[in-house]
Amino acid sequence: MHVKASPDGVFEGTEPISAWLGDMRGVPDGVRAGLRSLNVVVGRAAGLDVPAGTFFDWLEARGGGGGEAAAGGGEGLGALLASNASLYLEYTSLREWLPRLAADVPALGAEGALRRQAFNVWVGDGATTGKLHFDASEGLLTPIAGRKRVTLLPPYANEALGEGHLREGVLASDGWRGGRGAPSLSRSRLTDATSLVHAVLDLVSPPAACGDESAVLADAGLGELCPGTPANAAAAAAVWSARVVCDAGPGETVYIPAHWWHEVASEAGPMPGGGAGSVAVNSWSLPVVDKPFPCVGGAGECPLRLNLKDYQAV
């Protein structure tokens, strides 16, 4: 089973490049010219291949279920618990990998009018956050166990939030080999890939360093992503005033419209087998309204248009 691992529960989001081993030297001029920022990167969680039994034993032990999992545990369980990393089973297709579970998930009435592209399950310890980004699809998110807090910001906040190409970094998982060893997560691998959908401005849950004026002045990356800096404060306040915050529990569904910026934070809740954790399902469907991206010109230059190609009949 392929899961993602994070030392702090953040599984994707913008960070100052100073937090990573590496810089922009060696990046082709053509790529550099297209980046929204040379000081901010999108950090992504490390990938670990873990036996399914070990992952669910970890989840039970992490959530206080104890019992046989904590006492015995699958291969590598002790190393995972000792690392104190947060693990997340994400973007996992229900129909492809868990078809029996997919059949148990009732269809939502709203989905009757949508053209579904993906149907996924997400499982973790409830200490997970996906920082501010947008999806070019209509999203429906339903917690099964635990809760989700979704903070939404309008699609036309793209200029203030810093839409554009950002270089990516992926956490390295040194020491973990095929379910054995002790994973040591480090920010040591900047990649050649870029993200198009993450905000430079870390408006919802900025890092603690944003409260340290001297640190912000000394780090250009922090200066760009912290909302309280003189350069960002006015725009950040205007965008923040338009926020919509949705708290959903088991059986409730949050609609995340295409191109709306959003951050998703999980909270652990009672699991059916005991202990605490987070389980949710989501679907992505073809956008009802669409726009080109990256685009930073606001509503005038980046208008949302009805997707008549896919929804003409509707």
Give tens-digit pLDDT for 78-126.
Answer: 878 877 889 999 999 988 888 887 777 777 767 778 888 899 999 999 9
With a cut of 90, say whether residue 132 has pLDDT above it.
yes
Residue where the block lists tokens 């709306």 = 260
Cα-based angle 283, 199, 186 (whole degrees, multiple of 5)? 90
Q: How confident is the model at residue 314 (pLDDT cuts 50, 70, 90)?
A: low
Which tens digits make up the pLDDT trace of 31-87? 788 899 999 999 999 998 888 888 999 999 888 765 554 444 555 788 788 778 899
Whether the Cβ atoms of residue 261 and residue 157 lie closer than 8 Å to each other: yes
Q: Does domain 2-100+122-311 have CATH number 2.60.120?
A: yes
Q: How confident is the model at residue 177 (pLDDT cuts 50, 70, 90)?
A: low
Whether the Cβ atoms of residue 86 and residue 125 lie closer than 8 Å to each other: yes
> How many CB atoms sit inside 10 A of residue 272's CB?
9
CA dist 81 and 10 (Å) reads: 18
Whether the Cβ atoms of residue 222 and residue 16 lie closer than 8 Å to each other: yes
Tokens of 27: 């990046």
Antiparallel, parallel or unpaired: β 172-177 and 138-145:
unpaired
With a cut of 90, say whether residue 285 has pLDDT above it.
yes
